[in-house]
Amino acid sequence: MKSVLASALALALATPAAAQDAVTVIHAGTLIADPARAPLRGATVVVRGKTIESVQSGFVDVPGARVVDLRSATVMPGLIDSHVHLNGNPDDRLQARLQASSRDHEDYAFTALIQARRTLLAGFTTVRDLGNDPRLIFSLRDSINAGELAGPTIVAAGRGIAISGGHHDQRTGRNRDLTAMAYKQDINNTCDGADDCRRAVREQVALGADVIKFAASGGVLSNVAAGLAQQMMPDEMKAIVDTARMFNRRVASHAHGVDGVNAALRAGVDSVEHGTFTNDESFRLYRQTGAWYVPTLLAPAAALADGQRGALTPAQFEKARAAAGNAEKSFARAIREGVKIAFGTDTSVSPHGRNAEEFALMVRNGMQPAAAIKSATIDAATLLGLESRAGSIAPGKDADIIAVDGDPFANIRELESVDFVMKHGRVHKLAGKRQLTEVD
């Protein structure tokens, strides 16, 4: 793993024009090309520009190609996190609250860029951001996706849609002056009644949303003492889903309480985020609708820890205690019930760059390592509608490739220490060290 030819560094520093046609050969000791199939021993991945050209048995030499020697490593597709918030900084939640009144748009934008780079260097080459300032996240998405900045490919929702006073309402829990200022801002993500919720979807699409996200239930970190049960009416949820479909957008629903989970599933969402409380009806609906479950097991544990150290308000801490442990119970049953599961962490509640710690929680609660890896590659790519580009190492797909020293099928925590990261043919991390590229 540590023996990497110097030409790989030349690739990392190549000009955009040269990188467009550059050929890179990756010699993989073990290759997990398709996480649904058995690994290959001793294989070569040929990358031309941003795209995977071929996968071949043995260590193949291509004349004139740059070579990355990973013969002692396990090479696999870049990971996908289906639920993040790139501008959130959980490193010190108390300090963040104190600084909130002094931070401006530019501060949050630079924070999001830093978190995006941390995420990429952790091996996550694609993320779905499910709640952020629209202008911030869409600008960051477009710059990264255009190759102008280093970071994961971003699928973005803009602001999550909420009912007045619900989770994602930017005005809740503030004093009268801040509430008055919030009302004067162009906050267009709240809606009351089916017609208004149709309007809210159209607003996010107009701003540039790739996916629509709404809050069916209360949320842990919204500073309102209203619990975690259902808060949005069934006709409002159905209006959101139907309107999103008209714009060819998929729909993700934040839902903790079982009534919110089930109502979102009945409304026809593509994925339920968190799904903390469930019952027999929940799993019947998952199977009936084919919806994905995105468990975000890291989030309740991180929120509870924040509450225990005094970093949450009383309203938030009460909800964190209510959620603690129940997400893992629902996850364990979802495995037994055969529910479709896509990897997601809700990172920003937990620290950025540590997304892969979710894998250990998944395995501890009954998922096989191979299935956990599949949930963060093929399955997450399918949920995001990117299965033709991401999720496996195959000809024609984006050259999003990572490597670890050990065997993640034997020890899933190997994914917490990614040593090599290639995104769209550019090497961003080599032998565990960040490599500067022309977009850094």
232-264 tens-digit pLDDT: 999 999 999 999 999 999 999 999 999 999 999
CATH classification of the domain holding 322: 3.20.20.140
**349 & 407 share domain:** no
Q: Are residue 91 and residue 63 in the same domain, yes or no?
A: no
C-alpha–C-alpha distance, residues 343 and 79, integer Å:
9
CA angle 92, 131, 246 (to 5 degrees): 175
Alpha helices in 257-325 (DSSP H): 258-267, 280-289, 298-308, 314-323
97 in helix, strand or coil? helix
Q: CATH code at 37?
A: 2.30.40.10
Q: Say yes or no: 158 and 283 in one domain.
A: yes
Total tally of structural domains belonging to the chain: 2
At residue 16, the pLDDT reads: 47
pLDDT value for 310: 86
- Kindly state the greatest CA–CA separation across the chain: 69
Q: How far apart are CA 34 and CA 63, in angstroms?
A: 27
Binned average pLDDT, 10 residues per bin, the chain of 440 residues = 39 46 96 96 98 97 95 98 88 57 79 96 98 95 96 97 83 57 64 97 97 94 82 98 98 97 98 97 98 96 89 86 91 98 96 97 97 98 98 98 97 98 97 75
> Do 122 and 195 sit in the same domain of this protein?
yes
Backbone angles phi, psi at 391, to 5 degrees: 100, -20
Domain end position, chosen among 344, 368, 384: 384
Handedness of CA 200, 264, 86, 430 (dihedral sign): negative
* Same structural domain, 284 and 419: no
Looking at residue 2, what is its pLDDT? 42
**Phi-psi region at 283: left, alpha or beta (left = phi > 0; alpha = psi -120 to 50):** alpha
Q: Which of 367, 384, 401 is the last residue of a domain?
A: 384
In this prediction, residue 1 carries a pLDDT of: 47
Domain limits at 268?
79-384
Q: Do 55 and 87 fall into the same domain?
A: no
Residues 297 and 360 in one domain: yes
Per the listing, tokens 């096989």 go with 368
Sign of CA dihedral 321, 161, 311, 303: positive
3-state secondary structure of 213: strand
Query: Quick one: how many helices (H) and strands (E) in the chain?
Result: 16, 15
